[in-house]
Amino acid sequence: MDESWVSTTIAIAVTLFYLAAIAAAVEAILQARTPQGAIAWAISLLSFSVIALPLYLILGRNRFAGYLEKRDHMERESQALIHRTNSNIQEFVVPIGNDSPMYTSLFNLARMPATRGNQVDLLIDGDATFSNIRRGLETAQHYILFQFYIMRDDNLGRELGRILADKARAGVAVYVIYDEIGSRNFQRSRLCKQLHMSGVNVAPFNTTQGGRNRFQL
């Protein structure tokens, strides 16, 4: 075999490898989850490319770009829904002059005007909070959207779970979403399985989905 051809092939392969490392460094700067992670990956990829590039391909890349695309799609859907809602609630809007900077700021944040005919209950402690939650669940007629950071298979969780399961069996559409970090191991719990069997739509917010996701910077 011609040695010059081998040398040329190796040179091309090395060049492509380092170009890939540079491209990965640029991607890390643009898409890393944290500034610290971006700096660490960029320096490693440019200084220790042989070691850092394989590690970056396994641990460094994430789905943040896809998350942004999904968020933009949801934002467009939300804007359309807000536009339709604003058109339907005009008769309930509380007229407030433009001389109220606080109201203007709140309106810009919420993108929804203040309306009359609402009721607010101040829930001071856990007993009042969960008593109100139970009452709301028991009186639901069409659907329930139940979102919690922490879901556990304990006495309180089973009590609320029984209400949710009863409502699902009664024909009410029940949706439960929980955080995977705050509710670690809930997906494998007996309560979660019972909710599924009762017709409750249970799903985690996929913060840790994927075996390598927890190692990403």
Which tens digits make up the pLDDT trace of 9-39? Answer: 888 888 898 898 898 888 888 876 677 778 8
Q: Is the pLDDT of residue 210 over 80?
A: no
For the 119-206 domain, the top CATH level (class) is: alpha beta
- Distance (Å, whole) CA 197 – CA 177: 16
Q: What mean pLDDT, rounded, does the chain reach?
A: 82
Q: Is the pLDDT of residue 190 over 60?
A: yes
pLDDT per position as a tens digit, 57-112: 877 665 555 666 777 777 788 778 877 777 778 888 877 766 677 777 777 777 77
Name, of 25-34, 74-83, 129-138, 207-216, the range with top average pLDDT. 129-138
**Position 174, amino acid:** V
N residues, the chain: 217
Instruction: Identify the sign of the CA torsion 45, 48, 52, 53.
Output: positive
